[in-house]
Amino acid sequence: MDRVDIVIIGAGVVGLSVAAQAAREDRSVLLLERHDSFGRETSSRSSEVIHASIYYPPGSLKATLCAEGNELMVDLCRRHSIPHKNTGKLVVAVTEEEAARLPDLLKTAQESGAKGVRIIDGGEARRLDPNVSCVAALHCPTSGIVDSHALMQYYRAVALEGGVAEAYSVEVRTLDRRRGGYLVGVREPTGEGFEVGTRVVVNCSGLGSGEVSAMAGMDIDEAHYRIFFRKGVYFRVTRGLDHLPSMLVYPVPPADATVGIHTCPDLAGGMRLGPYDVWSDGVEYSVDESLGDHFYEACKPFLPSLQRSHIQPDTAGIQAKRFGPGEPSRDFVIRDEADRGLPGFINLVGIESPGLTASPAIGKMVAGLVEEAL
């Protein structure tokens, strides 16, 4: 295949959702992925939470696409039997000081589009989940969890059914503007390579999204497209699960701009705690065993039955952030870069959390940009 209508770079949950929505009989779409299968990076290392849109600045892409994605996700999971559960979520205040911060959080959540969110007292929180301890909480009834692998399989099946071609173990190395589109150069594991011409390129390359923007000739520092790696570490609860909540339980967000270490129940009845976030120089997934005490201390105030001996190191994942240590948080970038001299280069940069939740809404938004570009 030397020339196609659309090249999508990256087969994570976002690239697959875009592929599912871009697929049409009368156009050729090629999905390129550097690993030998889909979902080998961030998309298979998340908390798998369907977020309600509580924390993001109202009006931001994160807030609007999360709120829309929450509804679309639940609907498509129901219609296509994708394993998921509407667990609900509590953001728990364990002191009166923390309780005093809940009204601000409620206001942000309501303005961000979260549905049915309200403040409840400690008694009502315990009636919802007897294994939680708090003086008050924010209750988010639309939060839940999803089997992210099954979700990706679903998007991929829709894409393939719609005629999308996929190529694995190929890394995009060059991206040159040509009359009427782009020439995409890829390298195969053998060291050999090939080039594909295309009218439209969609950059869904996650941790690689800054590099791919640079390949297209953009100044990624001026555009704030440089990607910083933020590693999130998890511990697994191996015992005492009967006395832990089945809901998602989060602390009132700490001052470090994270959502704090929370419960991550899974659909198989297991539970992780996390993530604990640290900046990382590169992509590596080691988990520091010595963090166990910190996890225990962080969760014990709202999980009274948790024992230190019940938790063990588990996995880690890496978020693609558009800001580094000490910098203010930045929104998702989802745009056609026509105004930078790159028409038809549809760029998705910094798709960190809530990218999984937002994925159906991102796919829809990008499909609109693709229509305009073709």
Ligand X SMILES: Cc1cc2nc3c(=O)[nH]c(=O)nc-3n(C[C@H](O)[C@H](O)[C@H](O)COP(=O)(O)OP(=O)(O)OC[C@H]3O[C@@H](n4cnc5c(N)ncnc54)[C@H](O)[C@@H]3O)c2cc1C
Q: Binding residues for ligand X, per CB under 6 A? A: 9-15, 32-35, 40-43, 45-49, 51, 171-172, 204-208, 212, 232, 275, 317-319, 351-357
Tokens of 260: 């704090």
Query: Residue 290 and residue 4: Cα distance in Å, rounded?
Result: 51
Q: Considering beta carbons, is residue 312 or 315 the nearer one to ligand X?
A: 315
Question: How far is residue 340's CA from residue 141's CA, in Å, rounded to a whole number?
Answer: 42
For residue 135, with 0-12 CB atoms within 10 Å meaning exposed, 13-18 middle and 19 or more buried, which class applies?
A: middle
Residue for token pair 């640290």: 278
Q: Which is nearer to ligand X, 232 or 344 (CB)?
A: 232
Residues contacting 58, CB < 8 A, separation 6+: 108, 111, 112, 113
Our CB check for ligand X shows the closer of 232 and 251 to be 232
Beta-strand pair 193-203/345-349: parallel
Question: Minimum Å distance from CB 46 to ligand X?
Answer: 3
Reduced to 3 states (helix: H, G, I; strand: E, B; else coil), residue 324 is: coil
Nearest to 46 by CA among 335, 274, 200, 199: 274
H-helix or E-strand spanning residue 298: helix 292-299
* In the complex, minimum distance from the CB of residue 195 to ligand X, in angstroms, rounded to a whole number: 14
When the beta carbons of 111 and 211 are compared against ligand X, the nearer one is 211
Q: How far is the CB of 4 from ligand X (least distance, A)?
A: 15
Shortest distance (Å) from residue 238 CB to ligand X: 20
What's CA 32's distance to the chain center, in Å? 20
Residue (of 110, 115, 137) closest to 124 by Cα position: 137
Minimal distance, residue 95 CB to ligand X, in Å: 26
**What DSSP state is assigned to residue 331?**
-
**Least separation in angstroms between CB 103 and ligand X:** 25
CB 359 within 8 A of CB 17: yes
Q: Which is nearer to ligand X, 136 or 347 (CB)?
A: 347
Determine the residue type at 277.
Answer: D
- Residue 136 or 291 having the CB closest to ligand X: 291
Q: How far is the CB of 328 from ligand X (least distance, A)?
A: 19
**Which residue number, 18 or 136, has a Cβ lying nearer to ligand X?**
18
Smaller CB separation from ligand X, 32 or 125: 32
Q: Which residue lies nearer to ligand X by CB, 129 or 352?
A: 352
3 state DSSP class of 238:
coil
Q: Give 251's contacts (C-beta < 8 A, 6+ positions apart).
A: 91, 92, 94, 98, 260, 261, 262, 298, 301, 302
Q: Give 113 or 354: the residue with its C-beta nearer to ligand X.
A: 354
Q: Least distance from C-beta 227 to ligand X, angstroms?
A: 10
Provide the token pair at 337: 């870069």
Rounded to a whole number of angstroms, the minimum distance from the CB of residue 220 to ligand X is 14
CA distance 291 to 282: 20
Angle at 245 between CA 239 and CA 250, to 5 degrees: 110
Name the strand (E) or helix (H) holding 16: helix 13-22
CB of 217 to ligand X, least distance (A): 15
